[in-house]
Amino acid sequence: MERLEPYLCIAPSLTVLAIFVFYPILRSIYLSLFLTDPLGNPKVFIGLEHYASQLSGTFLQSLLVTIKFVLYTVPVGLVLGLILALLAYQPLKGTRFFQLVFSSPLAVSAATGATIFLMMLNPVSGIVNYVMGLLGIGKVHWLTDPRWALWAVGMVSIWLRLGFNFVLMLSGLQNVPEELYEAALVDGAGPWARTWHITLPMISPTIFFALVVGVIHAFQVFTEIDMMTAGGPSNATSVVVFQIYQEAFRKYEFGAASAQAILLFIVMVFFTYLQFRLGERRVHYQ
């Protein structure tokens, strides 16, 4: 009985993982090898044909758009979160209020955020173009111009993730020992030197964690794309997850959608491995 006790303790977790993680992955791999009917039932075994067709078709274009989206949103989101955390961590009156304001996007759902930005970015009545007009800048068709659409959706994603990045960075700053700053002050180090040589190295595990989670989240973006641009204009915002949704629930090609999902999973595992391989060397653990 004692030998079975550890397995009984983890059995509920394993059961949940088996139902909601392992089974869907195995089912997707299975379906990706078949032509399916509109209900998703496998009909004709075709082997790896779905993978071959995706690698020479729209998947690569969607993957390129997704990688652009990751590069647009993740670094900007991390830097903004860090700057706001550094400002809100200062021992000044009213910082609690700003901590509340900066973390408030955490309480906003992706659908709500997309709706808010749809109104703000409206080319006729939106406040963004109105302010740009006051500054003498011409109107921009944010969501219908292929040059700006991905940037516009990226702004929404950055804003929605800003609260999470801010809270994460602030918790990292609160764990930096005050003795280090006091010793640096005694040595005559200025604010920039203290930030560069003490703060950033000490919170580097937090930054690295935020980077890995941010990249994974950016690869999975869907709601903002679906609500704001539906993959347009001219497929400029057609990221991989939206493409999978189109294949599965618009075209009812569940086999092709499963193949795209598996390919996306492999790409995400590769990028996560790359981050641990290259980024973890620069992380300072106490």
CA separation for the pair 89, 102 (Å, rounded): 12
Mean pLDDT, residues 123-130: 89
Contact 73, 205 (CB under 8 A): no
- The pLDDT of 24-48, averaged and rounded, is 91
Compute how many other C-beta atoms are within 10 angstroms of the C-beta atom of residue 267. 16
Task: Please name the residues in contact with 218: beta carbons below 8 A apart, sequence gap of 6 or more.
Answer: 66, 69, 70, 73, 74, 157
Give me the pLDDT at residue 282, please.
75
Per the DSSP assignment, residues forming a β-bridge with 45 are 34
Q: List, for residues 226-280, the tens digit of each pLDDT value.
A: 999 998 888 899 999 999 999 999 999 999 999 999 999 999 999 999 888 887 7
pTM recorded for the entire structure: 0.89
Among 5-9, 26-30, 74-78, 111-115, name the one with the lowest average pLDDT: 5-9
Pull the structure tokens for residue 233: 């204009």
User: So what's the pLDDT on residue 231?
Assistant: 87
- List the one residue out of 222, 215, 223 whose CA is nearest residue 269: 215
Listed in order, strand segments (DSSP E) in the chain are 34-36, 42-45
Q: Is 43 helix (H, G, I), strand (E, B) or coil?
A: strand
State the pLDDT at residue 123: 86
pLDDT in tens, 188-235: 888 889 888 899 999 999 999 999 999 999 999 999 999 999 988 888
**CB atoms < 10 A from the CB of 241, how many?**
20
Task: Indicate whether 183 pLDDT > 70.
Answer: yes
Residue 122, CA atoms < 13 Å, CB-side half-sphere: 9
- What average pLDDT does range 147-154 have in this prediction? 93
- In this predicted model, what pLDDT tens digit does every residue of 39-82 receive, in sequence order? 888 999 998 999 998 887 788 899 999 999 999 999 999 999 99
Q: Collect all residues with Cβ–Cβ distance below 8 Å to 22 and sequence separation of at least 6.
A: none
Q: What is the mean pLDDT of the chain?
A: 90
Q: How far is CA 254 from CA 36, 177, 210, 251, in A?
A: 6, 53, 33, 8
Backbone angles phi, psi at 52, to 5 degrees: -65, -45
**Quick one: pLDDT at residue 286?**
66
Looking at per-residue pLDDT, the higher value among 285 and 166 belongs to 166
